[in-house]
Amino acid sequence: MVFAEILEKAGGAGLFQALQALTLILPSILMPSQMLLENFVAATPDHRCWAHMLDNGSEAPANLTPEALLTVSIPLGPSHRPHPCRRFRQPQWQLLDSNTTATNWSEAAMEPCVDGWVYDRSTFTSTIVAQWDLVCDDQGLKALAQSIFMAGILVGSMAWGLLSHRRFGRKLMLTWCILQVALAGTSTVSAPNFLVYCGLRFLSAVGMAGITMASAILAVEWTVSRWRAVTMTILGCSYSAGQMTLGGLAFALRDWRDLQLAVSTPFFAFFLISWWLPESACWLMVMGKPDQALQELKKVARINGHREAEKTLTVEVLMSSMEEEMASAKAHRSVLNLFRVPELRWRACSLFLVSFFLMTSYYGLVLDLQNLGSDIFLLQVLFGAVDIVARVTTVFLFRFFGRRMTLASFQTLAGFCILANMLVPQDMQTLRVVFAVLGKGCFGIILNCMIIYKPELFPTSLRMTTDGFLQSAGRLGAIIGPLIRMTCQALPLLPPILYGTAPIVASLIILLFLPETQGLPLPDTIEDLKNQRSAAAKANRQKVVIKENTYF
């Protein structure tokens, strides 16, 4: 934990930290736009089969209205609206007779939409659903596209977690991933078919995983403990603002290609801006690169106005101060130590399950806006607004309840909101939106807690690798989340039950197996974790003695 003292000398909360936060906020604002993009670019518009007499003007009788032609060409669906996936083989003229009963037409020969579909373009001028006819028998491909994107984040989390720790570090990974998102995102608009579209979205997701991980770790490792929660909350609020931004952009840009370009091209500018960021000195030290670490620390001290630190900080000082930490990190650098060391094994396995359950529920909720309300633009903005309030509230909740209790309690509340929404009828849209927004607010607090809590549970030498491991668990849940919705036609109650019970189970795991880290500095080594545990046990014993003395 000596690095925290060195960082204090260079300035652990100054101008540099403010500029770093601003730089990391810029790509973070558009991150939700990339992740939740399918809510709009893959929105399913109202549709029906293309019919010869109805849609080929030369075949339509001049004396019949469009409504009459629709009646004789397209059967009614379950909601008493034109069926989205079936049409009559031949015009059913008898349906124009007011005395005709349902039996007269329900038994008429029908067929699938062999000539394609006609889409309602009043809300969106173009979506990938209308572009590649992802409806009826192919409607599951929409959920598949979402799962492929989440699979890309899963692969990225695993790959970048290992590569950044062993070879590339935090900064280089961040700049490369920003460029990858820019290139893959802008190329998506030229996709000739759905398969290529999914492939480009997969590559974009791989880059997204790296940006998410590197931004959080850089912010944590360059900020002292007392300001860490505030810094990460500000970074989290940028994600929330990004959700509101997506709602506004989608409302203004109704063509999916325009929206795709709007959320992708700014990453080229973010790529250029990110080059000034210094590498994590903490990581450089545990990797045995004290000269580079010293350069970065002096750069930070100079920006923060700590001129005396530029003179007092030397390689010898760094080596002597962190000799024990560097030796321990070298001895425990393998990812297998996550499972060999008991303290790490319990934490890693517990957070693996928590991340999996959390993301399964979260993406089951936020990637299904069309099922939650009719105005998906307003709903997206509301989701972002309540997320900002929730993340700001997290800082105050930490002061009273700590990391562990805050995280567990709001996991439970989020689960109950989803289960309650399951009981609300579809026609009570306002109440459904209220429960959905409340649940989204709970998830905002949960995600902010996770961003702050996870790095505090693992040592510097394994922090990025562990984060990649846990990100992978979360993204595995994110892949499962959209796929669960594919069962709603056969088992309509199964998705909300699974989405609601998952965070409740996660809260129990947190309470049973994870420690509190409130007020503790970031651990540099595995020995620091053991010392924390010993100190916590000693403090608990002292509290018991004090209570006993007070009682007597």
> What is the tens place of the pLDDT at every residue in 119-148?
888 888 988 988 898 888 787 788 788 888
Taking the C-alpha atoms of residue 282 and residue 524, their distance in angstroms, rounded to an integer, is 8
56 within domain boundaries: no
pLDDT exceeds 60 at position 393: yes
Cα separation, 33 vs 258, in Å, equals: 13
CB neighbour list of residue 318: distance below 8 Å, 6 or more residues apart:
6, 285, 290, 293, 294, 297
pLDDT of 542 reads 46
Residues paired with 124 in a beta bridge = none
Percentage above 70 pLDDT, the chain: 83
**Distance in angstroms (rounded) separating the CA atoms of residues 503 and 474:** 12
Write the pLDDT tens digit of every residue in 178-195: 999 999 999 999 999 999
Residue 362 resides in a domain: yes
Q: What is the pLDDT of residue 260?
A: 92
pLDDT exceeds 50 at position 541: no
Write down the residue that tokens 């394994």 correspond to. 462
Condensed to tens digits (0 to 9), the pLDDT of residues 462-481 reads 776 777 778 778 878 888 87
pLDDT at 307 over 90: no
Helix residue spans in 253-289 (DSSP H): 256-264, 266-273, 281-286
Q: Residue 497 and residue 502: Cα distance in Å, rounded? A: 8
Decide which of 532 and 397 is more confident: 397
Q: Give me 478's structure tokens.
A: 């994110």
Average pLDDT over residues 383-392: 83
Average pLDDT over residues 261-277: 90
CATH number of the structural domain spanning residue 405: 1.20.1250.20
Q: Does 421 fall in a domain?
A: yes
On whether residue 84 sits in a domain, the answer given is no
Within-domain flag for 58: no
Q: What's the predicted TM-score (pTM) here?
A: 0.74
Does the pLDDT at position 547 exceed 60?
A: no
Domain coverage including residue 186: 2-44+130-538
264 confidence band (pLDDT: 50, 70, 90): very high
Q: Is the pLDDT of residue 298 over 90?
A: no
Neighbours of 421 (CB within 10 A): 22
In this prediction, residue 342 carries a pLDDT of: 76
Task: Tell me what percent of the residues of the chain surpass a pLDDT of 90.
Answer: 10
- Average confidence (pLDDT) over 148-158: 84
Local confidence band at 165 (pLDDT 50, 70, 90 cut-offs): low
Is 238 within a domain?
Answer: yes
Confidence grade of residue 540 (pLDDT, cut at 50, 70, 90): very low
pLDDT score for 521? 74
Confidence of residue 267 (pLDDT cuts 50, 70, 90): very high
d(CA 40, CA 38) in angstroms, rounded, equals: 5
pLDDT of residue 320: 65
pLDDT tens digits for range 489-517: 677 788 888 888 989 999 999 888 888 88
In a domain? residue 184: yes
- Flag whether pLDDT at 333 surpasses 80: no
Confidence check: pLDDT of 325 > 60: no
Work out the pLDDT band at 373, boundaries 50, 70, 90.
low
For residues 174 and 163, give the distance between their C-alpha atoms in angstroms, rounded to a whole number: 12
Q: Which pLDDT score, from 0 to 100, does residue 265 have?
A: 93
In a domain, 547, yes or no: no
How many domains does one find in the chain?
Answer: 1
Find tokens 């805050």 and name the residue. 406
User: Do 369 and 376 meet the contact criterion of CB atoms below 8 Å apart?
Assistant: yes
Mean pLDDT of the chain: 79
Q: What is the DSSP string of 279-307?
A: PPHHHHHHTT-HHHHHHHHHHHHHHTT-H
What pLDDT shows up at residue 244?
A: 86
Helix, strand, coil distribution of the chain in percent, nearest 5:
75, 5, 20
**What average pLDDT score do residues 361-378 get?**
75
Q: In this predicted structure, what is the pLDDT of residue 60?
A: 61
